[in-house]
Structure 1
Amino acid sequence: MIWRRRKSLVNPKQQIWFGLELVVVAIGFNLICFFFLFLSPISDLFGPSNDELLTALLNTIYLKWPLVIISMIVLLLIGILMSHRLYGPLYGIHSVLDKWLTGDKSARLRIRKFDYLLPLMKPFNAVLDKLEKEQQKASDLAKAAIKQNTGSDLEQKAKDYLANIEARDEAEQ
């Protein structure tokens, strides 16, 4: 089932850190590119005879800083969106497993259409369905054994059932 998430930030701390790390990497990459592409070739301009050319170059660089800042903000927002598409499904998996541990066996994973872990949803839910069926089958067999048998017969039936489960598990592997 594909659905829409209600929160903008599923895990704000981790998502914002992810976006900031992306911005830091982009800034570092841009600084390295700036150094190798511009700073090394213009190092000869730092003489008294080239003051006008150097001033013109620095003015051009200063005019582009707002564009750099805007691009970093956009990059931060893209990083948050990317982390939302990753942390949302992880949060969903965690929630489903918590519900299963508290006894809610009907809980299933729901992931949005554009989330990164969408291909994981069907196999994950199939595992939960199989586990639920196995638990229901074991419960039904235990109830039937209790109704039919008493004492040592019940103990022997339980041992036989466990041996059958182990044999089947070994055969599946």
Structure 2
Amino acid sequence: MNNRRSTILINKSFQMNFLKKAFFFLSFIFATIVLANIWLLSPLLDYIQSMNLPQGDELLLIVEDFKNYGLLVMGLLFISLTAFFTMASLLITHRIAGPLYNLENALEKMISNKKLEKVHFRQGDYFLNIQNQFNSFVENFQDEDDQLKRNEKKAS
């Protein structure tokens, strides 16, 4: 049995909402770090530049490089972290939405067929305990139903 899902967005509204919140959280953290660096380092950088160091002084070159490339490096870091967190969020939400999708489909089949069926989640999905409890319920119900049918046959 092929247990792999090829669709990443199983429950699009849930997964996209999660991604939006994760992106907002990551953006807030990044903005806080950038603003803290600017607020803390700006006076120091201005002081170093006001020291009238000779042109080509190593400390002055480091300060100028930091001012020129610091935000670029932070931007690239933000883009990299955003890509990483997006993929991680998709994988995590996939492991949440998939079992719920399977459970929903199983319940819909049961309603339309009037027959209880077990659900099957993939290894590594979240909510495996719900699968086990649901399947135990189905087994118990089927056992009771079978017993009831046998008693009805004996009675007739």
Query: Paired residue for 1:71, among 76, 81, 88?
Result: 81
- 1:60 lines up with 2:48 in the alignment: no
Contact 1:19 1:78 in 2 (8 A): no
Q: Which amino acid aligns with 1:56?
A: D
Q: Distance in 1 between matches of 2:34 and 2:71?
A: 14
CA RMSD of aligned residues (A): 2.9
Q: Could you tell me which runs of 5 or more consecutive residues in structure 1 were left unpaired when the two chains were aligned.
A: 148-173
Number of residue pairs matched? 145
Q: TM-score, normalised by structure 2?
A: 0.74
Q: Which residue number corresponds to residue 122 of structure 1?
A: 132
Cα displacement (A) at 1:129: 1.0
- The residue matched to 2:126 in structure 1 has which SS? coil
Q: Could you tell me which runs of 5 or more consecutive residues in structure 2 were left unpaired when the two chains were aligned.
A: 51-59
After superposition, the C-alpha distances for 1:118-142 in whole angstroms (9 at most, x for unaligned) are 2332222111111122233334434
Which segment is superposed worse, 59-68 or 82-91? Answer: 59-68
Cα displacement (A) at 1:70: 2.3
Q: Distance in 2 between matches of 1:24 and 1:89?
A: 26
After superposition, the C-alpha distances for 1:101-122 in whole angstroms (9 at most, x for unaligned) are 2235352211111112223322
Q: Distance in 1 between matches of 2:154 and 2:106?
A: 30
Cα displacement (A) at 1:12: 2.1
Q: Distance in 1 between matches of 2:102 and 2:82?
A: 30
Q: Distance in 1 between matches of 2:24 and 2:81?
A: 12
Contact 2:95 2:124 in 1 (8 A): yes
Cα displacement (A) at 1:49: 7.8
Query: Paired residue for 1:80, among 90, 96, 108?
Result: 90
Q: Distance in 2 between matches of 1:81 and 1:75?
A: 10
Cα displacement (A) at 1:45: 4.7
| Percent of matched pairs sharing the same residue | 22
Question: Matches of residues 1-173 of structure 1 in structure 2 within 5 Å?
Answer: 3-36=3-36, 38-45=37-44, 50=49, 56-64=65-73, 65-142=75-152, 144-145=154-155, 147=156
Residue 84 and residue 93 in structure 1: after superposition, are their counterparts in 2 closer, same or farther (change >3 A)?
same
After superposition, the C-alpha distances for 1:59-93 in whole angstroms (9 at most, x for unaligned) are 22232112311220221121111100001001111
Contact 1:85 1:115 in 2 (8 A): yes
